[in-house]
Chains A and B, each alone.
Chain A
Amino acid sequence: MTNQRGAIELAGLTKSYDGQTNVVQGVNLKIPNGAYCCFLGPSGCGKTTILRMIAGHEDPSDGEILIGGDNVVGLAPAERGTAMMFQSYALFPHLSVRDNIAFALRVRGQGKAERYRVADAMIEKVRLTELRDRLPGQLSGGQQQRVALARAAVTEPRVLLLDEPLSALDEQLRIQMRSELRRMQRELGVTFVHVTHSQLEAIALADMVVVMEKGRIKQAGPARDVYAAPRDRYVAEFLGGQNVFSGRVGAVEGDVIRLDSAELKSVIVPLGAAHVAAGDRIDVAVRRDDINLHRPGAPLAAGASSLASRVMGVEYQGNFVKVMLDAVAGDEFVVYVPERAFFEDPLSVGDVVMAAWAAERSRLLA
């Protein structure tokens, strides 16, 4: 595909409401055409503001927004070829499903027959044909979401912007609508930019995850990279599934670091491309499912990192068991043990265990 009409580029994008504090601080980002991109972060991190600036509902204080190579700053939403799906869906309560979806065509001056023909095709795509004469108030949350999606997509925008589209739904429906969003994105073949605070949603949906904190991008990349190789403590903790602990560098021996603390003395961290010196404080991450638990005295693999600790809590999760340890003072330390393995030798609260993992599984964080 040489077609780049839906590619988005943000250059030095900045937004301030009061002229002093920046809600968005110099964001640079390239989203490829046809990608499913998720902005992930806590509330107030600026992700929705970025979305609204791309949509044209807010003007940036500084910086450029390029869509398909053209700077769109200052253009009205409809001139940008974007369409937005609002958090509460913002369906017009006095119009039927069909008239809601045909609204964009109506304001463009299309005749009734023509716009209903296009709208009905769209209604069929989102599987709402039997409900097309209903009012939004008579639809379930999931149906409303499909109407909102169809209404936004009916003008064939090159970019679809979704502001927390699943937050109004209950858990089960959320998972169902999540796969529906992905299906629609593949069918329409346009760029989706989706804002969420749920890391589960982001990694399940996105080709590209953008993790944000306080108006800045902390890490952007494919979901697996961001989840498995977080760049720093913030990203690792926000995406979850990792134990993060801090320690002081004791010595750098070749390409590994040894930590200088009694409890962390048997932890070895690969150095990678980083530069650290003895005495530096570093953050280390280990995936919770990369760790094995052993009874004291059981033989450990040679060269493995290990921590002696006590079981603080056990939570059954169905396909795995979450074991909470007091391995590192001040940091949460959790191990995900596969369900079958756990029940071969079940641990209970207060048991002393060795948490061990292959040394190369440790990751030095920035």
Chain B
Amino acid sequence: MSAAPDALSPAKTGARRRALAPSKGRRPWTFYVLAAIFTFYVVALYGPMFCIYVLSFQDLRGGLVFPMKGLSLHWFVDLFTQARTGDVAGAFDRSIKLAILVTVITVVVSLMSALAFRRRFPGDTIVFALMIGSLVAPGLVLGIGVGLMFNALGLPTTWWGSALGAQLSWTLPFGVLVMFAVMSRFDSAWEEAARDLGASRWQTLRLVIVPVLAPGLVAVALFGFTLSYDEFARTLQTAGPQNTLPLEIWSMTLNVTSPALYALGTVTTIISFLIIGASLGAIVWIQKRRGRRASST
């Protein structure tokens, strides 16, 4: 079976190359233009962040601007030992806990609503419009609104209460939209087949729906976590007396004038990358495990 396409392919690729690059072997000038644009894009995207990471490794004499003075981990130590930099460890702890809470709720609700939205139900367009509405509403305004409402109701604003709600208004619509895309490739015949084979609704969910959708659910979790972890606008007026990490960083930019601020940036970025790496690793692991089990005969 594979012999036929192989025999054809040299002629095919030859034709394709001719069509794209008339001058044999040399790249067209458009290649260099596009490469330059892409390079500029990458530098513009990562350059500023990279400046911060580099400046965080200065020694005691370091300042907030270039040129770089010395090379040490001084400001990382300073970050976690000096009281004047604020409650970084506490803020970090709260942000992680809040992000986990947001992730779990987002994943569960997104899955359930994606399952529900496969069928028409009375008011479905209204529910959908309300959901998109909270996505497009300006975050700061929404945050102020939530804060005001808590005040009016006489409830204290807290990071695990009002801020959680404000963040969900942002992560849930995102999660649901991602799940819609994931669900579009879900064949409802699988559910029907499970039912035909005697599975209860719960067994169908546990043994068929969730495993089939697992990579999509990991993607939603990743979305929920990162959106929550660096959320600022909606959290500002709702977090109450205890800051989350982005709020803490923001207040530090106002009163900390040492490279400790940059060290914090480096640390949080590393954590973000670890989480993204772990999630992608989980997706790859799921796919690999399926592939390996399949090929080991």
Contact = CB atoms under 8 A, between A and B. Distances in A.
B197 A103 contact: yes
Of A90, A130, A138, A151, most B-chain CB atoms within 10 Å: A90
A78 interface: yes
Contact of A103 (B200, B207, B214, B294): B207
Contacts of B295: 133-134
B189 A78 contact: no
Interface in A90-137: 90-94, 96, 103-104, 106-108, 130-135
Contacts of B24: none
B196 A55 contact: yes
B83 to A, nearest CB: 52
Contact of B190 (A90, A130, A131, A133): A90
Interface residues of A, number: 33
A188 to B, nearest CB: 17
Contacts, number: 79
A18 to B, nearest CB: 14
Given A90-B187, A92-B208, A94-B212, A104 B192 contact: no
B235 to A, nearest CB: 37
A77 B195 CA distance: 7
B294 A133 contact: yes
B290 A108 contact: no
Given A57-B192, A133-B294, A92 B199 contact: no
Contacts of A77: 195-196, 198
B130 interface: no
A223 B200 CA distance: 39
A76 B211 contact: no
B203 interface: yes
Nearest to A77: B196
Interface of B (DSSP majority class): helix
B297 interface: yes
A78 B198 CA distance: 5
A76 to B, nearest CB: 7
A133 B293 contact: yes
A90 B187 CA distance: 8
Interface in A69-98: 76-78, 82-84, 86-88, 90-94, 96
Nearest to A163: B189
29 contacts: A76-B195, A76-B198, A77-B195, A78-B197, A78-B198, A86-B192, A87-B189, A90-B187, A90-B192, A91-B193, A92-B193, A92-B194, A93-B190, A93-B212, A94-B214, A94-B290, A96-B293, A103-B194, A103-B197, A103-B207, A107-B197, A107-B198, A107-B200, A133-B294, A133-B295, A134-B297, A135-B290, A152-B196, A152-B197
Interface of A: 55-57, 76-78, 82-84, 86-88, 90-94, 96, 103-104, 106-108, 130-135, 138, 151-152, 155
